[in-house]
Structure 1
């Protein structure tokens, strides 16, 4: 029994330890602080800014998983230096729970300056949000 418990705990620890995919340079997470739960099923669009044309170009679009996460934006093997923007489409998320909200979407712009991993999460409620550079 002890061996089973140890093996199970080791397996769970391995999953948690390697949950962040090292093959991708950018991840995001949404925590709905009004519920104390991750925000699942929220569409997030990633765009890159072109300094010459002063325009944004589409890079990728994904939905948050059951844990409110997207871990696989921007493959690490590419040159990802530049200015990016994540657009969090929050309106549909709140509509699903019949919750009135103030922000139909949230845009967060940031600069990737090196090959390190960048985590850009938001904490969310119907009438506010906050963001920071996580790890």
Structure 2
């Protein structure tokens, strides 16, 4: 069983992306948990422990940029990942209006 966190950095402004709606979906697309990033762009999400399997984090990036009056190419970003046996997973998102990247954090 594993714990999950995420962090979003707005690469265009160099600051955390606050108040972004994020959903955690299971392999069937069912929302397991949801929340919004804090002022530091961070969010602990999901149950205290995730069972092994495939999940996806879905970030509502279109609404985030619209609230700032910024056009964007991505209405949302979905990042699929596999939970195995690590006690903690951190899935960060580096975001700009026309690009994004991610990696397995620690």
TM (norm. structure 2) is: 0.93
Q: Which residue of the other structure, out of 90, 94, 105, is the alignment partner of 1:123?
A: 94
Q: Deviations over 1:43-76 (max 9, x none)?
A: 0000111xxxxx3221011000000010243313
- C-alpha separation between the residues in 2 aligned to 1:45 and 1:119? 15
How big is the shift at 1:101? 0.5
Is the aligned partner of 1:102 residue 2:79? no
Q: Does the 8 Å CA contact 2:33/2:45 hold for their aligned counterparts?
A: no
- C-alpha separation between the residues in 1 aligned to 2:85 and 2:99? 30
The equivalent of 1:67 in structure 2 is: 40
Q: How many residues align?
A: 105
Q: Which has the higher contact order (CA 8 A, sep 6+)?
A: 2
- C-alpha separation between the residues in 1 aligned to 2:86 and 2:14? 32
Q: Which residue of the other structure, out of 23, 29, 39, is the alignment partner of 1:45?
A: 23
1:3-22 matched pairs, under 5 angstroms: none
Q: Does the 8 Å CA contact 1:25/1:118 hold for their aligned counterparts?
A: yes
In proportion to residue count, which structure has more helix? Answer: 1
Q: Which stretches in structure 2 are left out of the alignment for 5+ residues?
A: none
Query: What SS does structure 1 have at the residue aligned with 2:5?
Result: strand
The equivalent of 1:14 in structure 2 is: none
How big is the shift at 1:116? 1.9
Query: What SS does structure 1 have at the residue aligned with 2:4?
Result: strand
- C-alpha separation between the residues in 1 aligned to 2:51 and 2:95? 27
